[in-house]
Structure 1
Amino acid sequence: MEVKAVRLDDFAAPNGPYEAPFFLKLDTHGHEVPILEGAENVLAKASLVVIEVYCYQLTPTSLLFDEMVAYMRAKGFGVVDMSDPLWRPQDKCFWQIDLYFEPLTMPYLQKNTYV
């Protein structure tokens, strides 16, 4: 089966303009990086990005939990929340979770103290 793919930036340009606030949700089972690489303009305007991340390698090029956090930090986003944890049924190992990222420019992401 052949499926046509299009970069998010190419899709958004003629269908926009998309202005903040808006959020981007990725549940793409290990294919997040190529999608994000094709969404530089969309990502620059996103107020919130939700990505399903994994603790195990799903594809040869997929990022693990900690690698995705570092990748998004390099893109200017920090983790602000998480939801929907999932454990493997056979051994109860932590499998995946949705991480919520917001721009590092948010004041509360610049504060490095607990209180």
Structure 2
Amino acid sequence: MSDINYDLLLRSNLQRVFNERNPDHRARALAELYVDDPVMFEPEGVVVGREAISAVAGKLLDQFGPTFSFKPDGVALGHHGFGLLRWHAGPDGGPVAVTGADAAEFTGGRIARLWVLLDRQ
């Protein structure tokens, strides 16, 4: 498990899944980064499967406008198949709208479970 590049994988998840506006590109990224049957835990509920995760990402991007994006803060930490990356999000050139972290459990070098942790505002 020590060969997992937590920083690369969690940053790729932010950029290629949660910042990707093209659903086909997002689906390819999900296939590369996630196991076949991933689970994502959000404050509002549990999302099961790649297609459902893609739908959540697309809805967020649509909801918050064309320049909204997630940006990593620092380097991801991880060991023994568990990683954490802090991030912030908002419109380009605008105020930060939300901060938080993604915590992920990895299986076979891919994300099996993802917890989206939002900081209190």
TM-score (structure 1 length as normaliser): 0.28
**Relative contact order higher in (CA < 8 Å, ≥ 6 apart):** 2
Point out the structure with max Rg over C-alpha. 1
- More strand as a share of residues: 2
